[in-house]
Structure formats: C-alpha cells, structure tokens
A and B are shown apart, each in its own frame.
Chain A
Amino acid sequence: MKIRKGTYVLVKTSMFLLVLGILLTSYELVALSVFPILFLLTPTFPVRVKILGHHLEGGGYVGENFKVVITMSASGFGVLKVMHKLPEHFELSKGSNAAARFVVGSAGIRIDYEAIPTKRGRYSLGKVVVQVENPFLTGKLFVRELEVPLEIEIKQRVPKVIKIGVHRGIARSPTPDVDISKIGVPGTDFREIREYVSGDPVKFINWKASARKNEVMVNQYEVEGKKSVWIFLDGNPYMRHGELIRNYFEAAVEATNAISYYFTQRGYRVGLYIIGHRKYLYPDTGRRQFRRIVDELIRVEPSENVESLEEAFENSKTLLITYKPLIYFITRIEYSKPVRAVLKASKISKRGRKAPVEVIALASNEKTEEDLSALALRILRGSLEARIRSAGVKMTVWEIEKPLSQILLREVLYA
C-alpha cells in the first residue's frame, strides 16, 4: 500500500515526539505526539458527483481540433478532482481535461478543453474519473468512474492523388484504366454461347441453340464496366516499426486509403486483403465500397501473427482468378520478401499474359547509424528490388516521410 505524503509527514512527526518523550521520560512530549495523529483521524467524506450535460464539437480527422464541454454538479465535503479520460493518441491544445474543487456543500464543475487526435480510430470518450480526498490530503483516496455517452471517429485524411501511373493497352495493361472487366453488367457485344447455369437471366436463353443441343444454352455478352483493383495491405508485426503516430503501418494505411479512393471514384471495383489478419473485402464499386474500406482501416492495427504474402495470395486466389484485378502489394519488402508471391500473382492470367501487379515498397530515409544490421537490410532491399523489377513487375519505393501523392505522380511522369 502506498502511504500518502500527508500521512507520512504526520506519522513521522508523531513518532519523533513519542520516541523523544519515551527517551526523556517526558509526559509533555508523549502528550504532544498525539497532536499530529489527530489530523489522520479526519475521514474522507463522500462527495456525490452528477453529470449535468456534455457536448462534443468538431473533429473527425487526424490533426483536426475538437472541443469537449462537460458540466457536473458535486455535493459533499472534501477535495474533488475530476478528469475526462482521453485516449493515448490525443493531445490537448487548449484548456484542461481535468478540474479540481474544494467542495463544501454543493458546487458546480465544468471541464472545457480542446484536443487534437493524432491517430485514426474509433475512440470512446465515455469515462470521467472522479477522485475524492479529505482536506488534509491524508487518508483514503476514493476513485471512481462516471459514464458519459461520448464517442468520436477519427479518419485519416485521404491524400489527394491526382494521377496514378497507367499504361493504356488492351488486356496487357498493367493498370485497368481501359481494360474490359470479366464480370459486370452484360453489354450488347456478343461473346459466345454456353450452357445455362443457375442464375442466368431467362432473356439470354438462346432457344434455337437449346433445341439443337437438347439442353438449355444461353448467349454470353461482353460485360460493361472497368476492371478490378485488389490491394494487399501488409499488417504483419514488423509494420509496427517507427513512431507511435507515424510508422510503416500508418503509412501503408494512408497508401491504401489513397489508392482505394482514387479507383473507387473512377468506377473501379476495389477489393482489400489485410495480411496478418486474414481478412478481406470483396471487390465492389462506388462510395459505399470506399466507406467500407475506410471503416475497416479505422479499426485495423498491426497483427500479432505473421502471415506470409504467399499465404495471403493463396487465401484470395479464387477471387483473384475470378476478377483478374490489378494487384497492389503494400509492404516492407526487406521483411516480407514478396518475390514469390508477386511472381505467382502475375501468372494468374491465362493465355500467358502477365497479370498487372505493382509493389509499393515502404522505406525510410532516417539518418541512422550505419551499423552492420542496417547495411545488411539495405543490401537485402536492393537485391529484392532488383529481382522484382527484373520479373517485369512495377515497383514504387516510398520513403514514408515524403508525401504519397508526390511519389505516385513522379511514377506517372517517369512512365
């Protein structure tokens, strides 16, 4: 048990007087030794605290100020301290999230502050910690929590990506800007006649062909719409490296946000696989799909379990074969060693065509001391970059301290 300073001081004084009194056989000193102890007998009286109102204004994005006002009433006797508990990733910018009062009878307390969230996520601001102690700051400290129904969702601002590097071309394009989708709304261009499968619209049944073959046949048309994009976001434990607010994983989330926003806005189907969590979102289009991705990215944190990129590829292979998307791997290549996964991904297309795959390799330009391990990592990264590039896969190295849009735009210019 931790002895409070006030208690310690009073006990120490009393003990000194008592010991001196016993040594000198002095009645006066022994009698005086009771004096400090009397203050320890002061109990901590209960103080009732009620939350009268609360208000949350602003916020929503990383780095954007929000304001909180909580009004309370207290009744009782003692020293009261109240604190609105803030999550770890919040910084106070104005005012204080705590208040203290000497309560005699009844008193009103107001907490009024502004804070800045520094990390994405869905946070509960629902706890107000109340501390009550006696006026001498001795004795028991009563601590309890009150509930306030306050919640805040902090999103990462999507970096404005003007253009992502594309190479136009029929089917061989490494990006799907003008490619024809494998699935989607059927158009008017006839492709082939095939056997009926459950779910095919009746209007597509080719009655003449069905009569000839003695089984139900349907016309297959080329589908309209654009191709899909599939993002592999690496959420393995090594992505956690860096500062709490800005680390590799946060940079990877930012890149995923930017790419998915760019493509969903242009009508592509965007799917997501979070490596390490074995979690995926089916490809879909539009704002709703972007919202789904953002919701997933708000919650996600680096995993405790390791999943290789190859495993991730195998887990989503069926979908990749169905959609034949442009595949993005966002990872730290020196840890994930993605060469085999990238090669496998680029071979999912039939007829010998290479599927479009792109690797966004996260790096840092920190000026660290060049020790042996750093040198080994640098050499390994260089070797992996060379192997990926020699396999004909596009690779973008992003130093996470630089803005993402600048890197992607540079890729366009160089292309």
Chain B
Amino acid sequence: MRWLRFKKSDSEEKRIEIRGSYLILGPVINLLLAEFASYQALLALSQPPILVLVSKYFALQLLYPVILSIPIILLIFRKNPFSFGLFYFLLLLSAGNLLSRSELFYACLDGLYLKFPEFASYLNSVFSSAKDVNIFALLLNIVWLFVLSQLIWISTEKGREMEERGMSSKNLVAFQWGFAFISTYLIFLLYPAVFTLNFVFEAPLVIVGIIGVGVFIAATFLLSR
C-alpha cells in the first residue's frame, strides 16, 4: 500500500530524525533486557553439574565479562542487542543443566561406556548427582525477556517506518511498549503456577496421540489466521 510519497529535503529529514529521537530508547531497553538475560544464563551456568565440570579447568567468572559484553557489541554494530543468535547462545549455555535429566544424554553415556568406561562413569557420577537442580525459573526469565525484547524491537521498527513516512508514532509506540511489558509480565507471573501443577493423566496412548494431532491441527489453524 502506498502511504505517501514526497521528496524529503535535508531539513525535512533532520526534522524527522529529531522527532523520532525517542526511538533510540528501543535499542537501549533491549540492551538492558539482554544484559539481564545474559546474567540469568550465567547463573544457570554456575550451577552443578556444569560448574563441577568447568571449574576443574578454568575459573567460570572469566566468562562473565565476555558474555555480558556481547549485547553491547551488537548495539555498537547497530544490531538488535537481543538478537536470535544471542538467545540461542544463552539457551545453549543453560541447556547443560538440563542434560542431567535427559534420557538422550544417558543413552549417549551408555554408548560412550563401551569405549571409555572410566570417563563415562565419571560423567554419570557428576550428572546423576545434579538431577535435583531445577533451572526452570532461570529459563523462564530468559524466554520472557527475549519475547518482550522482540515485541519492543518490532514496534520500534514500525515506529521508525512511520516517522519516515511523516506520521507521528510517539504515543503509539509508547503504548505498545507498555502493553507488551504488562501482558508479558502477567503471563510470566502465571506461567510457573500453571506448569508446575501435577496432573495425573492416565489415558491409552492412542487417545493421547489423537489429542496431540488435534492440538497440532488447531495450532496450525490459529497460526494461519
């Protein structure tokens, strides 16, 4: 759709630049969110069993400034400080703790046992002792911060686009940021309560499969709308 077309003079461009200066807040907020998320990932990393494994070779604290400086470097290069790449990286840092309860990991250890029985036994002793470590809250923090940062980034980009077209978007963007924060925070607060409920659901596997397919179709329908 053509919203408008006109040649912008230098003064006009400068005026748009000044008018849209509040949009710099978007990347700054994202930087803060990325720093918080990085800190959460480092907290997850500094828990057993990863702590036990890594601290044997070097001090984990050395990683702190490196990881915390990534969002700043991204901002300096005019990229989204909380990009997808950083999110993947933070999750992979935290995922080490999830291995202690992963069936796949223990299956791999069984395979490793055939060639390196001592090393496999050592890993098994480290990881199986950390089965009670729960990092769900830390992961939820990272996911919440990332989703919020993405919503803020999208509305900032839209706002910039509108300012370039001569539309004032200050109020719109501010409202969107506020709404994104409130709604994601409410879900963030309720989320653990919903997912830590202990359901006892006994049903034949066929029924579970049918329900799964139904949910998949419903999700596809919802996403296609």
Contacts and interface: CB of A to CB of B under 8 A. Distances in A.
Nearest to A111: B167
Interface in A311-360: none
Contacts of A16: 88, 91
Given A12-B84, A35-B191, A100 B179 contact: no
B5 A96 contact: no
Interface string B1-44: 10111110000000000000000000000000000000000000
B140 interface: yes
B4 A92 contact: yes
Contacts of B99: 24
A11 interface: yes
Nearest to B136: A28
Contacts of A20: 91, 95
Given A13-B143, A39-B147, A139-B225, A24 B105 contact: yes
Contacts of A99: 167-168
A135 B223 contact: no
B187 A25 contact: no
B222 A39 contact: no
B144 A102 contact: no
Interface string B176-216: 10011001100100010001000000000000000000000
B4 A79 contact: no
Nearest to A17: B143
Interface in A1-56: 1, 5-7, 9-13, 16-17, 20, 23-26, 28-29, 31-32, 35-42
Q: Is the interface of B mostly helix, strand, loop or mixed?
A: helix
B166 A5 contact: no
Contact of A35 (B88, B91, B134, B143): B143
A79 B91 contact: no
Contacts of A29: 95, 98, 139
Nearest to A30: B195
A134 to B, nearest CB: 10
A79 B135 contact: no
Given A13-B146, A32-B140, A79 B176 contact: yes
A28 B135 CA distance: 8
Contacts of A13: 84, 87, 143, 146-147, 150
Nearest to B92: A20
B166 A95 contact: yes
Given A92-B4, A99-B167, A7 B223 contact: yes
B132 interface: no
A178 B136 CA distance: 101
B187 A24 contact: no
Contacts of B195: 31
Contacts of B179: 102, 135
B61 interface: no
A101 interface: yes
Given A23-B104, A92-B6, A102-B175, A28 B139 contact: yes
Nearest to A80: B172
Contacts of A129: 1
A93 B169 contact: no
Nearest to A102: B175
Nearest to B138: A28
A298 interface: no
A135 B143 contact: no
Contacts of A190: none
B222 A41 contact: yes
A26 to B, nearest CB: 4
Contacts of A204: none
Given A12-B84, A92-B166, A98 B3 contact: yes
B104 to A, nearest CB: 5
A35 B187 CA distance: 8
Interface in B104-163: 104-105, 134-136, 139-140, 143-144, 146-147, 150-151, 154-155, 158, 162
Interface string B79-98: 00000100110010001001
Nearest to A86: B4
A235 B199 CA distance: 80
Given A12-B84, A100-B162, A102-B172, A26 B223 contact: no
A104 to B, nearest CB: 8
A25 B104 contact: yes
A135 B180 contact: yes
B222 to A, nearest CB: 7
Contacts of A102: 171-172, 175-176, 179
Given A24-B102, A28-B135, A96 B147 contact: no
Contact of A24 (B98, B135, B154): B98
A97 interface: yes
B143 A32 contact: yes
A91 interface: yes
A140 interface: yes
B109 to A, nearest CB: 14
Nearest to B225: A140
A97 B4 contact: yes
A228 to B, nearest CB: 44
A11 B220 CA distance: 11
A6 B98 CA distance: 29
Nearest to A7: B223
Given A11-B223, A40-B222, A40-B223, 13 more contacts: A13-B150, A24-B105, A25-B102, A29-B95, A29-B139, A39-B187, A92-B4, A92-B166, A98-B3, A98-B167, A99-B167, A102-B171, A102-B176
Q: Which 7 A-B pairs have the closest CB atoms?
A: A102-B175, A96-B166, A92-B6, A26-B98, A31-B195, A25-B103, A24-B102
18 contacts: A10-B147, A12-B84, A13-B150, A17-B91, A17-B143, A24-B104, A28-B134, A28-B135, A29-B139, A36-B147, A91-B5, A91-B6, A95-B166, A96-B4, A101-B172, A102-B171, A136-B151, A139-B225
